[in-house]
Each structure stands twice: as C-alpha cells, then as structure tokens.
Amino acid sequence: MSFSLDHLSLLLGQWLQPLIQRLPPQVQGVLLHPVAPKAILVLLALALVRQMNRALTNWSMNNGESVERWNADRELVLLTGGCSGIGKQMVLDLAKTGVRVVVLDIQEPTFTLPSGATFYNADITSSASIAEVAGKIRAAHGDPTVLINNAGVGHDGTILQKTEAKIRQTFEVNIVSHFLMVREFMPSMIQKNHGHIITIASMASFIGLGDMVEYSCTKAGALAFHEGLRQELRLWYKAPKVRTSIVHPIWVRTPMIKVLTDAGSQFKQPVLTPEMVSAAVVKQVLTQSSGQVILPWHYTPLSMLRAFPNWFQEFARGVGSRDFIKLREWQQKQLKGQ
C-alpha cells in the first residue's frame, strides 16, 4: 500500500509539474513540497468517495428509477397550512413556476392568492373534513400529484405547564394529519405510479429538548412516518415512482416561534427565514427526486446525534435545553419590569 501511494504520488507530481510552473512562486513552493502529491491524492480519494455516496444515496432514495422531467401542466400541488409562515411563502414560490396549487388551511388567507392557486377551508385533523374537501378538489382540479404536509403547531412550556388540549392539538396537527392526508390522496398516486409526498419535519426530529417535548415527539414521528411510508410504497404497493422527501429546518422566523425571536440576542440559536425553507422545498418538488434535506446543511451532523455515546447525547440535549431556561428567565424579568 505504501509503495502504491508513493508511486501514484510520484506520477501525479510529474504530471502536475508543467502546471505548477505557471503558478506564482508562493503557490509553487507549497505544491512542490514532497508531501503535496500525497495530500492531493487523499483529497481526490475523499472527493471520489463523496460523489459515490451521493450517487448511491440518489439511486437508493429513488428506488433505482430514473427521475422524470418536471412538467408543470400535469402536476397539481396540494399544500397544508399555506396561509402563513413557510406555507404562505411556498404558495407564492410554487405559483411562480406555473404549477397549480391547492391550499388547505383552517384559517383564511390574509394575502392575495397568486394566479393558479386555490384555497379550501378544511380541518386536516378530521378525516370527514378532508374527505369532503377532497371531493371538491377532484371535481375542480383533478387528483393532486404532489402532497406537501406542511401544517404544524407548537406551544411553549414544560409538560406540566401545557394543557391536555394543547398537547393533543400538537400531535393531531403535526403527525396524525399526515396519516389522514396520505390515506385520502395517496391511492391515486399509487394507481398512476406517479407523485411526490413531502413531509416538513424539523431538526427536532433528531433531538428532544425540554420545553418542547411534545413538538419533538411529533417531529421524530414525522421522520418515522416518512421512512415507513417509503417502504410501503416500494414493497407493498409496488409504486417506486411515487417520490418521498423530508425536510428538516432548524428554527424558522414564523409566528409560531415569535416568543423566541422577540427575545433578540437572548435567543442565541440560528434562525432561518421562510424564504430559505421554501426555496429548498420548491427545488425538491421541481427535481421530482426523493431525498432528505437538512437546513442549514452544515447542521447535518446533528442528524447523527443518536449514533453517539449516551453521555454526549445528554450533553447536547442539555446545552439546548438550558438555552430555553435562560430564555424563560429573561422573559419573566421582562414581564416584571412592565
């Protein structure tokens, strides 16, 4: 192995010699160092491994099937929770691509819907409400080909501080609705072997923090939902071209976390904008490719937290949870000051 590496580095050094001589003297000094060819070989090997990993991931996530070219005319996007926050931005961005968009929400839109977008009032935690609106959608637009389970809620406070109603609402909106929406709209995708189901999860899928326990539970459940759904589509229903994607953003500046972002510098964790998340989701829709998207991408190592020793996991959860304690203490001081 040592001989092979030395031999390859020698050949690489000889091959690069004419190119190196054209570079500035300072750069030449670095590249002509005896270790430089070996370092370049290692970097090239790592780059090759990375590209192979990406190719295998793409092949696996898409069940070995080729990705079809996007055709906005034959697609119909159904989006839950599209009247505010990330959902509102997705409606605006999707409409710019020329695709038809159907918005389901329990609240009316407070903005002018773009051309090609239609709103229906529906309670996505009720199968009866979903079935009723589904009939209207099919009659007016046809079967949805892209389903984005985006609607979500969250409440601040510890387990003992939250009411049972708030806890149940979080589970019903953030995870139970995914099952109900898929049960209603996935059969047509299976029949045509064409479609895309996108789950909006969170970085909370990978780490459970205090003060947001039920929210973390539902987002971990959303990840399990996505993983199991893929297997059923591929193995049970033989529909490998029904794509599935999941998106894990960190904190997003929406009304749901206003209590956190209002704290300014007291809240030290990074915050994305709805535009950032929407851009990633729309890109995933247009590529018609299955995948897992983590936002921002450099937080990807957090997705592997549960592979680390328990003591390190506990340390990481403690860091995040203590941020909430400090934030609540600051909020209490602000209230007393008023």
**pLDDT tens, residue by residue, 8-34:** 555 655 655 666 566 576 555 555 556
Are both 116 and 48 inside the same structural domain?
no
Residue 151 lies in a domain: yes
- 54 and 149 belong to one structural domain: no
* CA 272 – CA 7 distance, rounded (Å): 48
Kindly state the average pLDDT of the residues 71-76: 96
Asked whether residue 66 is domain-assigned, the answer is: no
In a domain, 330, yes or no: no
Q: Which residue has the higher pLDDT, 67 or 223?
A: 223
Q: Can you tell me the mean pLDDT for 81-107?
A: 96
CA 91, 188, 234, 295: dihedral to nearest 10 degrees? 10
In a domain, 337, yes or no: no
Residue 210 lies in a domain: yes
Range ranked top by mean pLDDT from 57-61, 65-69, 75-79, 267-271: 75-79
Report the share of the chain in percent with pLDDT over 70. 81
Does residue 245 carry a pLDDT above 80? yes
26 domain-assigned: yes
Amino acid at 92: L
Same domain? For 95 and 49 the reply is no
Q: Are residues 134 and 259 in the same domain?
A: yes
pLDDT confidence band for 251 (50 / 70 / 90): confident
Element (H, E) at 129: helix 127-141
Q: Three-state DSSP class for 272?
A: strand
- Rounded-to-integer distance, Cα 225 and Cα 223, Å: 5
Cβ neighbors of 53 (< 8 A, separation 6 or more) are: none
Residue 42, domain extent? 2-61
> Above 90 in pLDDT, residue 177?
yes
The length of the chain, given as a count of residues? 338
Query: Using one digit for the tens of pLDDT, what is the confidence trace for 296-312?
Result: 999 999 999 999 999 99
For residue 291, the one-letter residue type is: G
- Same domain, yes or no: 51 and 138: no
CA atoms within 13 A on the CB side of 302: 21
pLDDT at 77: 98
Query: Does 37 score more than 80 pLDDT?
Result: no
> Would the pLDDT of 292 be above 80?
yes
Instruction: Note the pLDDT of residue 40.
Output: 62
CA distance 79 to 91: 8
Same domain? For 241 and 144 the reply is yes
Q: Which is catalytic among the residues 215, 237, 299, 336?
A: 215
pLDDT exceeds 50 at position 3:
no
Same structural domain for residues 116 and 139?
Answer: yes
Question: Of residues 182 and 9, which shows the higher confidence score?
Answer: 182
Number of independent structural domains in the chain: 2
Is residue 276 within a helix (H) or strand (E), and if so which, with residue range? helix 274-287
Active site residue 219: yes
Are 57 and 169 members of one domain? no
- pLDDT at residue 75, as a whole number: 98
pLDDT at 1: 44
Displacement of CA 248 from its chain's centroid (Å): 3
Q: Which of 88, 219, 241, 336 is catalytic?
A: 219
* 311 and 181 inside one domain: yes
DSSP state of 193: T
Mean model confidence pLDDT for the chain: 87
Q: What is the CATH number of the domain that holds 253?
A: 3.40.50.720
**Is a pLDDT exceeding 50 seen at residue 88?**
yes
Q: Do 77 and 57 fall into the same domain?
A: no
Residue 25 in domain: yes
Residues 183 and 276 in one domain: yes
pTM of the model: 0.84
Q: Is 237 a catalytic residue?
A: no
Query: Over the range 91-127, which residues count as b (16 or more CB within 10 Å of their CB) and which as e?
Result: bbbbbeeebbbbbbbbeebeeebeebbebbebbbbeb
Is residue 287 domain-resident?
yes
Same domain, 57 and 100: no
Q: Which of 34-38, 125-129, 219-223, 332-336 is predicted least confidently? A: 34-38
Q: Which sign does the torsion angle of CA 59, 62, 66, 69 carry?
A: negative
Contact between 61 and 290 under an 8 Å Cβ cutoff? The reply is yes
Mean pLDDT of 154-178: 96
Q: How far apart are CA 150 and CA 238, in angstroms?
A: 26
Of 171 and 67, which is predicted with more confidence? Answer: 171
pLDDT at 2 over 50: no
* pLDDT at residue 274 greater than cutoff 60: yes
